[in-house]
Amino acid sequence: MLSTKFSPMSKEEVDRKWWEIGDFFRRNSLWMLMYCTGCCAIELPPAMTSAYDMERLGMGPMATPRQADVLLVTGYLSLKTLRRLIYTYEQMSEPKYIVGFGSCTINGGIYHDSHAVINQLNKYVPVDVFVAGCMPNTEAVMNGFVDLMDLIKNKKANGWKDYHERYDWYLANQKAALGEVRVHDEFHE
Amino acid sequence: MTNSMSNIEFTTDLVESKFSVLSTEVVDKYQVSFEVKKEDVHSLLSLLKSSGWIQLSYLSAVDWPLDNEFEVVYIVFNWDKAVHIQIRTRVDRETPSINSILPIFPGCKYYEREAHEFFGIKFPGNPDHEKQLILEEWDDLPPLRKDFDPRAYSDKKFSKMEYKNDFVNTNGEVSKQDARTKRYDDIDKLRTGGKK
Amino acid sequence: MIDILLMILTGIGVAFFGFVLQTSIAGVNRKVVARVQKRYGPKWYQEFLDIFKLLSKRSVTHGWIFDFGVIMALGVIIGTAMFMPLTSSFMAFDGYDNFFIFVYLIAVGMLGMAMSASGSGNPLASIGVMRALTTMLAYEVPFMIVVLTIIKLTGTSSLSEIGLFQQVAGNSWFLIALPIGGIVAVMALMGMLGKKPFETYIAPAEIASGPMVEYGGKQLGMLFIMHEITVFIEVSLFVHLFLGGAENIVLFIVKYFVVYTILNIISSVYGRFKIDQVVLFFYKWPLIMAITQAFIAIYLGWVI
């Protein structure tokens, strides 16, 4: 027999419900910040324009890190770029996600033995979705975005929480590769 | 076409009449290379600048570890005659140093910083030449020297992806890579008569 | 007492209606622009998703003036929208729908946003604010001359009465009655809405979306709501002043939709002016046309 008595939800349950509602909005309106470091960036114009039309999924390019939800790292990252990428990532407002493009972000790709290019992006910043390929074709890129939406729906896109929890680990990796994360150059000082 | 050839001749005459050139190489009809002594570089560049080669296109270096020397290359460009001139000179590899050409071409400031960063050549006269430009917080040999091993540096500094064995073998089949390695080993064994 | 409370509630209802109307129409217009570019386009309610997504995000602050400016801008713009007559007879505050109320209150909202953007300390935000104010200075002059001509002709500055004047005269809209002034008003409206040729102060590729450069999360969501309501006010002004107001709400929505869609289609095929080109443009042709129109209409009395 069904009880008609009103049973108040616990605070955790209310929070969870709100979070699910928020997830619905977040996954249907992903705003991208394109950090076009490498050649994979050339796959984004066909994904955005009339061939594949990313906007029908609610995605669109944004101008600054503060406004964006997804950071697209398209290609290899030199040490100098990684330093700026960490700045950019930490400026984004939460919840935030990272999509890594191409083999270069997974294992170094064709730059695996270069003195200036890092090999694994997810040692330094938390990556939610990798799109493999050198370079990935546009269907793979679109599929990566749909995967990210599924991950958000299933509450598995928790890279930004991981960055909070294991910040010491990420910072140690960053320091091992970069020496110091702070940018020192004559144009910023 | 004859015009450009006469340009090359004009340039060669101009340089060789006034300086002792170690070797001249006409790369193609738009480019000529002179190798001069280290002391002559500044006066030669001043002469070229006053004769119309007003733009310093590039300044870089080449490493010759067997000669124990660096070759510093200056490329200047003329906007009226279609000739690039390369001025090459050799400096010692152990204590590489050559005076800056900042008074002649102020645009060399960043090229000299770059050359110092990638080869370790010092440019006295350029106050900024030891500042970092492209490599930030570099902690090893200058990376474009031939005795620098980028792969060893990369292995030491950056963590690599670790592949598990079962990640490579799908469906329990022998991987093609393993079969290939075994075949090569067999061939080696046949060649060496079973000895390793 | 209860009357005033009811009026305020109606006013908030008008502002909310304006928000919902403009957000839906903006969503439909994103589809229209997508079809112009041979794309499929987002869902028609995409703008709602964007705004609620922004409100659901966490955000950072750059000091109290940054937060206060956003709230001030949103509050003032909602307050402005409360005075807007929807049809020629329905409005929240009867008799307070003067044209100048809207002009001044919108400026206060813009100043709130300018204050907040400058409070973020980002140089691009300051450049954007400066450009926004310069653009405002440029389009206001010809627009005001045309509107003052209309006020001189009708003898009133109340929006609903200007609308009624046109309806009584047999639906002779001022867009047709004053054709040169109508063109000037369309151009000024594009400048007001920040549409493409005059998009100088947003300029995402150039100054990284200008005043909005440091906003993210909740503040940006509030700014988006403020932007939608501002667009509602400006397009409604145009409908009432130049398209003969509206007898009923359906006619209002239709006129509103047509005006906004045509502006968007014009905008979607244009590039972007530089800021000096914007100022020069508005101070050259629209100003000359507006003065000519005023002279023809007031001194010669030639009104179609």
Q: Can you give the pTM of this predicted structure?
A: 0.81
| Cβ-based contacts of A84 with chain B (< 8 Å) | none
Chain A: residue nearest B155 by CA?
A113
Residue B34's pLDDT band, with cuts at 50, 70 and 90, is confident
Nearest to C56 among A25, A56, A57 (CB): A25
Full residue range of the structural domain in which residue A150 is found: 30-178
Residue A189's pLDDT band, with cuts at 50, 70 and 90, is low
Taking alpha carbons only, the member of B123, B105, B102, B103 closest to residue B113 is: B123
Domain match, B151 and B195 both: no
Cα distance between residue A86 and residue A98, in whole Å:
11
Cα distance between residue C283 and residue C145, in whole Å:
12
Based on the structure, what is the number of domains in chain B?
A: 2
pLDDT at C257: 92
Cα distance between residue A83 and residue A87, in whole Å:
7
Cα distance between residue C150 and residue C135, in whole Å:
23
Helix (H, G, I), strand (E, B) or coil at A73: strand
Cβ <8 Å between A115 and B136: no
pLDDT at B168: 55
Q: Please write down the HEC assignment for all residues of C217-268.
A: CHHHHHHHHHHHHHHHHHHHHHHHHHCCCCCCHHHHHHHHHHHHHHHHHHHH
> Bridge-partner residues for A61, per DSSP?
A32
Domain match, B51 and B73 both: yes
Does the CB of B95 have a partner CB in chain A at under 8 Å?
no
| Cβ-based contacts of C120 with chain A (< 8 Å) | none
Place of tokens 């397009």: C235
Residue B1's pLDDT band, with cuts at 50, 70 and 90, is very low
Q: Is residue C167 a contact partner of residue C251, using CB atoms and an 8 Å limit?
A: no
pLDDT digit string (tens) for C100-122?
A: 888 888 888 888 888 888 888 88
Q: What's CA C33's distance to the chain center, in Å?
A: 19
Residue B72 is inside which H or E element, if any? strand B69-77
pLDDT at C170: 75
Taking alpha carbons only, the member of C154, C8, B143, C27 closest to residue A113 is: B143
Cα distance between residue C41 and residue C27, in whole Å:
9
| Chains in contact with B, counting 3 or more C-beta pairs less than 8 Å apart as contact | A
Domain assignment present for A19: no
pLDDT at C261: 92
Residue ranges in chain C whose pLDDT is less than 50: none
Q: Which of residues 54-93 of A touch C (CB under 8 A)?
A: 55-58, 61-69, 92-93
> Bridge-partner residues for A99, per DSSP?
A72, A129
Nearest to B154 among A83, A114, A183 (CB): A114
| Cβ-based contacts of C46 with chain A (< 8 Å) | 28-29, 58
pLDDT digit string (tens) for B143-169?
A: 888 888 888 888 888 888 777 665 555
Q: Is residue C77 a contact partner of residue C106, using CB atoms and an 8 Å limit?
A: yes
Percent pLDDT > 70 in chain A is 96
> Bridge-partner residues for B58, per DSSP?
B75
pLDDT at C258: 92
Taking alpha carbons only, the member of C293, C299, C301 closest to residue C242 is: C293
Domain match, B126 and B45 both: yes
pLDDT digit string (tens) for B62-118?
A: 988 888 888 999 999 888 888 888 889 988 888 888 888 888 888 888 888 888 888
Chain A: residue nearest B128 by CA?
A186
pLDDT digit string (tens) for A119-155?
A: 888 888 999 999 988 888 899 999 999 999 999 988 8
Domain assignment present for A14: no
Domain assignment present for A67: yes
Q: Is residue C218 a contact partner of residue C59, using CB atoms and an 8 Å limit?
A: yes
Domain match, B84 and B54 both: yes
**Residue A159 Cα, gap to closest chain B Cα (Å):** 19
Full residue range of the structural domain in which residue B129 is found: 2-160
Based on the structure, what is the number of domains in chain A?
A: 1
Place of tokens 């100003």: C287
Q: What CATH number is associated with residue A126?
A: 3.40.50.12280
Radius of gyration (C-alpha) of chain A in whole angstroms: 19
pLDDT digit string (tens) for A41-75?
A: 888 889 888 888 888 888 888 888 888 889 999 88
Pairing of strands B69-77, B84-92: antiparallel
Domain ranges of chain C: 2-300
Domain match, B128 and B190 both: no
DSSP C152-185: HHHS--BHHHHHHHHHHTTS--HHHHSHHHHHHH
pLDDT at A43: 87
Chain C: residue nearest A53 by CA?
C39
Residue A188's pLDDT band, with cuts at 50, 70 and 90, is low
| Cβ-based contacts of C37 with chain A (< 8 Å) | 49-50
Query: Which pair of tokens denotes residue B191?
Result: 């060649």
Domain match, B30 and B110 both: yes
pLDDT at B164: 67
Pairing of strands B84-92, B31-35: parallel
| Chains in contact with C, counting 3 or more C-beta pairs less than 8 Å apart as contact | A
The overall average pLDDT reported for chain B is 83
Q: Which residues have CB under 8 Å from B159's CB, separation 6+? A: A119, A120, A123, A173
